[in-house]
Structure 1
Amino acid sequence: MTGKQTAQGPQHKKDLTRRKVVAAGAGAVAAVGIGGGLALNASAEEPATGASASGSSAGTCYKLTSETTEGPYYIDADKIRRDITEDKEGIPLTLSLKVIDSETCKPVRNAAVDIWHCDALGIYSGYESLSTGGGSAPTDAPSGTPSGTPSGTPTGAPPSGGTGGGGHEEPTDDKRYLRGTWRTDRDGRVTFTTVFPGWYRGRAVHIHTKVHVDGAWTDAGYEGGHTCHTGQFFFVEEAVLASAKVAPYSTSTTERTTLTEDTIYDQSGTTGGLLRLAYDRKHIAKGVHASITVGVDPDETHDGTDDAVQPGASAPASSSS
């Protein structure tokens, strides 16, 4: 897949300071295959009207500054697929996204949506030698609060590689697990099959995403166009702590940063990328369904490399991905 981030001369709107990017709860979801004791989370900031969970093109629009850094571990790869699991172990995760125009609330069709994230032990494909995750059978699962005194800045040094603003690192290996791109349908929807991400030093549990528009789908993949959104999705602490009791997450000895300590997440609930989750609270290992509505401005370009807003960061952005 080539040229996804090559701008094709999109006409920018006059008001470039208002980045109209939204991550709003997608409403109630049916978690197929998830048993009793279903746990649903939705942010208090989510409006009662909510984004439509039906096939309707309607949605709730927000005007936010939810762009985030691309991070150093993005790969513009050729993995056009919905199932990005490969052979990685972990709690099954179904990620359902709906992409809408934040001005009109209409679905954005035929967009190319990328997602990528680390595995259950905090390792990124393509960057295994640079990743700071890992595990070697601890005596117990990580506690709700990481070691050290909590502060606005994550404890420990960030993952190596890159400079301020999420400078890109060249891949160090040819692995591409937990990475993929797929096309939004007529309702702006796209669904990925993956595993629940793990954690690594300096960041809360998260998934990266990019949305590309104005390109063309060909036999070779997605060509041309520009990136109108670069963001990250986050998980509530309750679900992360539940995952930490399940292998292979339970074997991790890596220091964990909580959601409130993360310098990228802006603490605004679903409007800042917090996923709505559905899972069996007693048996999270059965699987998790995550959903969110992402509102974008198709006329703007946000590739996450130089104009990303860094919520909560008082200093130049770290290279944490």
Structure 2
Amino acid sequence: MLWGKNIYRLSCISSGMSLFSNLMYISFIYSISAKNSDSDAQGLVHPIRDPRLLSGVRPGITSSQGTSLQGSYYLRNSYLRHNLKENQTGVPLFLTISVTDTNSCSPIENALVELWGANNHGLYSGFSKSGSPSSDCSSWLRGAMETDSEGLAKFETLYPGQEENRSLHLYAIIRTDWYEHSKNQTVDSDSSHNAAAIVQIFFPDSLNHQVLNRTDYKITGRQFVKNKQDFIFSSGQGVLKAKAELPKSSICGGVQAHVQISVDAHASQNITVTESPYQCKTNCKAYQNTTEQTTTISATSKHKPHFIPLAVIFFASTYVFYG
């Protein structure tokens, strides 16, 4: 009988040891997973919520049209916001960008749309001062928004002014894999090397003519350039033609415009977005998500699993041995 009890105790100890080992193993796996998750997601607090949009591409393939369509005035780490005007004046533009999937034609939710354009003097924020790199740290008429459940990103901005030898246009980048930087509510461009599409948005010549006839849009020495005279528009690549409506009363009331773009939600992003060599490098907090800043921001619970504390393991094992 005593021998039987000893065997039973040994089996309990063995079971306890087995459970203890399993718990230790689980804790180890979870802690390693959490550690890896932290390193992968430092400063990234906006994981893509829609699984369709995960591409996992780093860094990707350079598109032959990417650089020319992107232009020379792109700034990394745009603010996440819908109103881009800040202190600028001009004709209000209410622009809706619709993003759909090329395969299903259904709207894509949580895609990111970055938008920027020239002000009424034909200047771009971040580049309105001389120097290389620029000392201009302004951010007007720039911003980014994620699409809603209907695939729409709605911006309040200003009708673009005339860049030299160009028709009036805006720039847009569509991303299906992106992250938000929590410290200053900007896009974390360091973790979003690629884009699903880079486009330029054009407006009807008749509307452009009306806008450029305004005193605040006139630039001495610049001639009106029709869309068909614009080298990007005439190429037909990466061109979006906006459907625009003037208010019934006056153009001062603003312009309503809509464009639609289709991207493959399941394909890897393959257009490399490059930083302008003239971008402001000093004291530009809006555009500097440096490594040091990023590492000081911990990832959210969305990025890391919960691990089992050692205290729980100790009490659990104690219960098995003596309980």
Indicate the TM-score class for this superposition, using the shorter chain for normalisation.
0.5 to 0.7
- SS of 1:69's equivalent in the other structure is helix
Q: Indicate the structure with greater helix content.
A: 2
The 8 Å contact of residues 94 and 156 in structure 2, kept in 1 or not, is answered as yes
Per-residue deviation, 1:246:
2.0
1:303 counterpart = 2:272: yes
Distance 2:160 2:111 in 1: 24
Distance 1:79 1:11 in 2: 22
1:183 counterpart = 2:183: no
Partner residue, 1:115: 115
**Does 237-246 or 216-225 show the bigger shift?**
216-225
Per-residue deviation, 1:245:
2.3
Partner residue, 2:215: 247
Distance 1:206 1:293 in 2: 15
Partner residue, 1:280: 247
| Residues 186, 98 of structure 1: alpha-carbon distance in 2 compared, 3 angstrom cutoff | same
Task: Tell me the alpha carbon deviations over residues 13-42 of structure 1, each in whole angstroms, 9 at most, x when there is no partner.
Answer: 9xx99x9xxxxxxxxxxxxxxxxxxxxxxx
Q: What amino acid sits opposite 1:9 in the alignment?
A: V
Distance 1:268 1:257 in 2: 16
Q: What amino acid sits opposite 2:101 in the alignment?
A: D
TM-score (norm 1): 0.59
| Residues 287, 206 of structure 1: alpha-carbon distance in 2 compared, 3 angstrom cutoff | same
Partner residue, 1:290: 257
Partner residue, 1:43: none
Which portions of structure 1, spanning 4 or more consecutive aligned residues, are displaced by more than 6 angstroms? 10-13
The 8 Å contact of residues 127 and 136 in structure 2, kept in 1 or not, is answered as yes
Partner residue, 1:70: 70
Partner residue, 2:56: 8
Distance 1:102 1:297 in 2: 5
TM-score (norm 2): 0.59
- Indicate the percent of aligned positions where both proteins have the same amino acid: 23
**Does 171-180 or 235-244 show the bigger shift?**
171-180
The 8 Å contact of residues 198 and 205 in structure 1, kept in 2 or not, is answered as yes
Using CA pairs below 8 Å that are at least 6 residues apart, which structure has the higher relative contact order?
1
The 8 Å contact of residues 95 and 291 in structure 1, kept in 2 or not, is answered as yes
1:208 counterpart = 2:171: yes
Partner residue, 1:87: 87
Task: Tell me the alpha carbon deviations over residues 200-256 of structure 1, each in whole angstroms, 9 at most, x when there is no partner.
Answer: 212110000001122344534444343111110001110011112223014654233
Partner residue, 1:231: 199
Partner residue, 2:97: 97
Distance 1:183 1:99 in 2: 10
Per-residue deviation, 1:126:
0.6
Distance 1:106 1:113 in 2: 17
Distance 2:140 2:60 in 1: 35
The 8 Å contact of residues 68 and 231 in structure 1, kept in 2 or not, is answered as no
Distance 2:231 2:254 in 1: 28
Distance 1:187 1:67 in 2: 30
The 8 Å contact of residues 233 and 275 in structure 1, kept in 2 or not, is answered as yes
| Residues 243, 11 of structure 1: alpha-carbon distance in 2 compared, 3 angstrom cutoff | closer
Q: Gapped runs of 5+ residues in structure 1?
A: 20-64, 131-160, 162-168, 306-321
RMSD: 3.4
| Residues 237, 193 of structure 1: alpha-carbon distance in 2 compared, 3 angstrom cutoff | same
Partner residue, 1:263: 231
1:196 counterpart = 2:165: no
- SS of 2:207's equivalent in the other structure is helix
